Structure 1
Amino acid sequence: MKALYPLIFTALILISCKAPKEDSPIDVAFSPDSEHVEELNTECFRYIGEKDEVFLTTHVDGTNITGTLEYALFEKDQNSGTINGEIRDDMIIAEYTFVSEGDTSKRQVVFKNTEAGWKEGYGKMETVDGIPVQANIDDLDYSHDMILSPIPCDDM
């Protein structure tokens, strides 16, 4: 009887193993490819001032948002990196991982959607787990003129 256990165990393993499921032709026909989905959910924004430029590219998936962000501000270090966060109401709240002068850093960024475009909110920062974050997201200042307006992504 003990000799039968390994055989039964082996048979159960073989029965439970199946080849990976292939998509049916119907699933393939009605499932958009990832390139097409990314095109639909990708938007680009730009601010160009007299001596300042800011570029934002977003990829939205439900309430999750990823993308790139680049600052070229007069008399400040240029930096560029990625955002990863969420959309809440009319705001983007994201962690910005960027490189400036060869060093990688992180900080929280908050953008509010206005009729003219996205405006970054500024306020008191505090450090949480080594990352600067807004102390009070509901009390940010959006009174500046730096508005990121929508542009075709081909222009970036």
Structure 2
Amino acid sequence: MRIIGALIISAGLFACQERTKVTGQKEQADTVAGNIPVAQQVCYSYIKDKDTAQLTLITTGMVSTGELNYNWFEKDQNTGSIAGEMRGDTLVANYTFNAEGKQSVREVVFLKKGDQLLEGFGDVEEKEGRVRFKDLAKVQFNNKIVFEKVACK
């Protein structure tokens, strides 16, 4: 019984040492041994008058997933998940959300500028059961909805 206890303690100490080594190297690169990307969580918030929105992104390499919630004053709240990829400084993703008792999917685009994400707008069409931009090259980032980086809760 004492041997098993000693093995468990040794394994725990070894795991802590290994974690310290990886954490110490994280400052140099966002990968661990074998070039496996490390997930990073970043949170953003939009507040204007009585309208608010929150975005939590978990990014691993170029892939981003998370939650996106819009709370428009005197309108139905949109609550859902986001899944997409970073293309340079632009996040292109599908937003699967519930609004007015119905689940929908629409494409969303955000331009990263420092600690901000600017939501993009443009002409859309419904295709294959989801709303998507007709031409991503024509999406405008007009500062209408700007998410600011905030501490994650």
Q: TM-score scaled by structure 2?
A: 0.73
SS at structure 2 position matched to 1:76: coil
Letter of the 2:18 partner, please give it. Answer: F
1:40-88 Cα offsets, whole Å, 9 max, x none, are 6101000111111010000001000000000011243211100011010
Map of 2:135 onto structure 1: 136
Alignment of 1:114-133 (within 5 A): 114-115=113-114, 117-133=116-132
SS at structure 1 position matched to 2:142: coil
Deviation, structure 1 residue 30: 3.3
Map of 2:18 onto structure 1: 30
SS at structure 1 position matched to 2:76: coil
Deviation, structure 1 residue 116: 5.3
Unaligned runs of 5+ in 1: 1-24
Deviation, structure 1 residue 141: 1.7
Map of 2:62 onto structure 1: 63
Q: TM-score scaled by structure 1?
A: 0.72
Deviation, structure 1 residue 118: 0.4
Question: How much identity, in percent, do the aligned residues show?
Answer: 34
Unaligned runs of 5+ in 2: 1-10, 23-31, 33-37
Higher Cα Rg: structure 1 or 2?
A: 1
Map of 2:27 onto structure 1: none
1:116·1:147 contact (CA, 8 Å) conserved in 2? no
Is 1:150 aligned to residue 149 of structure 2? yes
1:67·1:84 contact (CA, 8 Å) conserved in 2? yes
Aligned-partner Cα distance in 1 for 2:113–2:72: 22
2:91·2:111 contact (CA, 8 Å) conserved in 1? yes
SS at structure 2 position matched to 1:30: helix
RMSD: 2.5
Alignment length, in residue pairs? 125
2:52·2:70 contact (CA, 8 Å) conserved in 1? yes
Alignment of 1:54-93 (within 5 A): 54-93=53-92
SS at structure 2 position matched to 1:127: strand
SS at structure 2 position matched to 1:138: helix
Map of 2:29 onto structure 1: none
Q: Rate the CA distance shift 1:115–1:75 in 2: closer, same or farther, 3 A.
A: same
Higher normalized strand content (fraction of residues): 2
